[in-house]
Chain A
C-alpha cells in the first residue's frame, strides 16, 4: 500500500513533464464533438411499447421497435473555413442501439451546419465491409441484394376503418437521403474544444411533409412507392439540431 502511494506520487511528478512534451509536438488542437440523438413523437420522447401516439393523419399507434442508420456525418462551415467528414461513419440509432456518438479529431474551426445521410451509401450497402455499425447480423440486414434496411419501424395502429400491425422497412439505394441541418448557433471549436450537438428525430414527421401517410391506406411496406414516400418525409423535417452546448 505504502509503495503504491509512492508510485502515484512519482507519476504525479512526471505528469506535467509528459504534458509539456506532448504540447510541443501537437500541431493544431483537435476537438471532440458529441452528437446526441433523441427520438421523439412531437414533443414527447418516444417510448417503445408504452405509449399510444396520434399520427398526423389522426390514427393512433404504438411503436415497438424503431431503428435507423445515420451515416457520412459532416461538419460544415458556410464560410468555407473548414469541413470535417467523419471516417467510417455508420451509426445505428434507436431501439436498444446507441443514442450518442462521438466525432473525434475534428479540426478547430467554426461550424454552422451538419450534413448527414439516412441510410447506407450504395458503395457500402452492397458490400461485406463491416465498418462502423454495419453488421451483417443485426436486425437491419435485408437480403444480400437489397442491402441494409435504412429505417425500420414496427408497431401496431388503430385507424378509422381498421387496425393491425405497422411495419415499415425502408431501404434501397434510391431512399438514401442526404440532409443538411443548420445549427441553432455556430459551434466555435477554438473556444470550445468539447462540444455537444443535441439532435431530435420526430417519428410523426415520417408520416407527413410532404406525404401524409394514412395508416388505413398504408401501414406496411419496404419496397416500391410507399416506402419512398416515407423516405421523402425523412429528408424533410424528421431530424433537427435543437441545441449546441
Chain B
C-alpha cells in the first residue's frame, strides 16, 4: 500500500502542476479578488429544507443587496416612474391593493398583482404558471407594455451610466459590466430571500404560541376535507392551500366562471383539461392582500368564503373534483358550511399575517 501511494503521489502532483499552470494569454489583471459572501437563509424546522437554488445563481449577500436595489429601481421602467415595488408593496405583503394591476401607461393588466413570499419553494410562477424560474419571470414585467414597458437592453445602458450600479454589480458578479442576465439574476436572488415564516400560525406550529378556540377550530375546518358519512366537517381549503406554505403548488379550476375568458394554465400547457386552471396561491398574509383571485373580483375574505360555500359555478369546465366532492351533508351538492364555520375559517386566515415579514428592513426600499 505504502509503495503504491509513493508511486501515485508524484503522478498526481504532476497532473496538478499541469492543470494549475495558467495559460499566459488567459491572465487578466485582477483588481481585487472576487469573493462574495454566501447568504444564509434562516428557516424554522417546520419549513421544507429541500429547496433548490439554481446552480448558476447562488445566493450571496452582495447579489441580494443588488437585487433589492433593482427591485425598487424606477429606472427599470420606461418613464422612470415605476419599480417592481410599485405593484409589490411590502406593507401589503408585496401586492398593490388593486383588483387589476396598472402599469406606467395607465393601462390595466388582465390580472391582479401577486403576493411575493416563500417563492424559494415554488417552481411555476404567475397565476398561469407561465414562468419557469424567477429569473425568467422578472423579465416579463420589465418588458411588458402594460407594466414597466422598457426593453431590458435599454435598462442595461441606463444603469451602466449611473455611479451607483457598476460597483454594486462588481461586488455581486465580479465585474462592473451590467448585463440583462445579471439584472435578472440579482432580482431573483432578492426574491428568494423574501421568506415569511413568523406568523401566529408558524408560532403555533412551533409550540411557541397559542390559538384561541375559534382559531383552532378554523384551522381544523380549513385543513379538513369533509366526510358527512362519518360526521367529519371541513371547509376543504387544505386540499389546495395546505401545508406550511399554505399552497400545494398545484393548479385548479376553483369554479369562478361558467364561461372562461382567461384560460390560465390551459393557455400555457395547451391541454384541454387545464383550461380555466390557475395556481392555488399561498394564503400567507392573505388578510393583507385584498382584493382576491386572479382578477381581483372579491373584496373581502367573507366574499371568498361565500364563493366556496354558495357560489361555485358547477358547470365551469374542469371544475376540480376536490371541490365537487366536498360537502358537509350526506347527498349535499355544495360545501354547506354554517355561517359560524365560515367565520372561524376567516379567523384562522387572519393568523397567517406575518408582521415581522412586512416590516423587515432587509426587504424594504433602500432608496427611502
Interface positions of A (Cβ within 8 A of B): 3, 6-7, 10-11, 13-14, 17-18, 20-21, 24, 49, 64, 128, 130, 135-139, 141-144, 154-156, 164-167, 169, 219-226
Which B-chain residue is minimally distant from A50 (CB atoms)? B273
Assess the A223–B325 pair: CB atoms within 8 A. no
Q: Are B15 and A10 in contact (CB under 8 A)?
A: yes
Kindly provide the distance from the CB of B224 to the nearest chain A CB, expressed in whole angstroms.
7
Chain A residue nearest in CB terms to B240: A139
B230 neighbours in A (Cβ, 8 Å):
223-225
Near A by CB (< 8 A), chain B positions 205-248 give 205, 219-220, 223-225, 227, 229-230, 232, 238, 242-245, 248
Known: A137-B245, A223-B227. 14 other contacts (CB 8 A): A3-B18, A7-B18, A10-B14, A10-B15, A14-B11, A17-B8, A49-B273, A136-B244, A137-B121, A143-B220, A143-B223, A144-B205, A154-B321, A223-B232
Q: Which chain B residues lie closer than 8 Å to A164 at the CB level? A: 321, 324-325
Q: Which chain B residue lies CB-closest to A129?
A: B45
Q: Does more than half of chain A's interface fall in helix, strand or loop, or is it mixed?
A: mixed
B:89-142 near A, CB below 8 Å: 121
29 sampled A-B residue pairs with Cβ under 8 A: A7-B15, A10-B18, A11-B15, A14-B8, A14-B15, A17-B8, A21-B1, A49-B271, A64-B321, A130-B50, A136-B47, A137-B243, A137-B245, A137-B249, A138-B248, A141-B242, A141-B243, A142-B223, A142-B238, A143-B223, A144-B205, A165-B324, A169-B225, A220-B225, A222-B227, A224-B227, A224-B230, A226-B227, A226-B229
**Could you tell me the distance in whole angstroms from the C-beta of B237 to the nearest C-beta in chain A?**
11
Cα(A125)–Cα(B225), bound, Å: 19
Interface check B19, CB cutoff 8 A: yes
**B12 interfacial contact with A, CB 8 Å:** yes
- By a CB distance below 8 angstroms, the chain A residues around B324 are 164-165
Closest 7 interchain pairs by CB?
A165-B321, A143-B223, A165-B325, A224-B230, A137-B48, A165-B324, A141-B243
A224 and B243: CB pair below 8 A?
Answer: no
Complex-state Cα separation, A226 to B324, whole angstroms: 18
Q: How far is the CB of B239 from chain A (nearest CB, A)?
A: 8
B220 to A, closest residue via Cβ = A143
**Which of B19, B220, B321, B326 interacts with A7 by CB under 8 Å?**
B19
Of all chain B residues, which has the CB nearest A220? B325
Measured CB to CB, the closest approach of chain A to B172, in angstroms, equals 29
Chain B nearest Cβ from A113, distance in angstroms: 31
Contacting residues, chain B, for A143 (C-beta < 8 A): 219-220, 223-224, 238, 242
A221: chain B residues within 8 A (beta carbon): 227, 229
Least Cβ–Cβ distance between A140 and chain B, in angstroms: 9
Closest CB of chain B to A237's CB: distance in Å?
26
CA distance A64 to B323 in the complex (A): 14
B49 touches A130 (CB 8 A): yes
Residues of A within 8 A of B322 (CB): 154, 165, 167
Contacts of A155 in B (CB 8 A): 321
Q: How far is the CA of A13 from the CA of B250 in the complex (A)?
A: 52
Contacts of A128 in B (CB 8 A): 45-46
Among A137, A139, A144: residue with most chain B CB under 10 A: A137
In chain A, what residue has the closest Cβ to B244? A136
Closest B residue to A156 by beta carbon equals B321
| CB <8 Å contact, A167 and B321 | yes
Q: Is B164 an interface residue (CB 8 A)?
A: no
Residues of chain A within 8 A of B245, CB atoms compared? 137
Asked if B42 is an interface residue, CB under 8 A from chain A, the answer is no
Determine how close the nearest CB of chain B comes to the CB of A134; give it in whole angstroms.
9
Q: How far is the CA of A15 from the CA of B54 in the complex (A)?
A: 33
The CA-CA distance from A165 to B48 in the complex, in Å, is 30
Which residues of the partner chain B approach A156 to less than 8 Å between Cβ atoms? 321
Chain B residues near A141 (CB-CB < 8 A): 242-244
Known: A166-B321, A223-B227. A136 touches B48 (CB 8 A): yes
Residue of A nearest to B205 (CB): A144
Nearest to B18 among chain A residues (CB) is: A7
In the complex, which residues of chain A have a beta carbon less than 8 angstroms from the beta carbon of B219?
Answer: 143
A208 to chain B, nearest CB (A): 21
| Contact partners of A3 in chain B: CB under 8 A | 18, 23
CA of A6 to CA of B14 in the docked complex: distance in angstroms?
11
Does B41 count as interface, using CB distance less than 8 angstroms? no
- Chain B nearest Cβ from A155, distance in angstroms: 6
Instruction: Please report the C-alpha to C-alpha distance between residue A155 and residue B205 in the assembled complex, in whole angstroms.
Output: 32
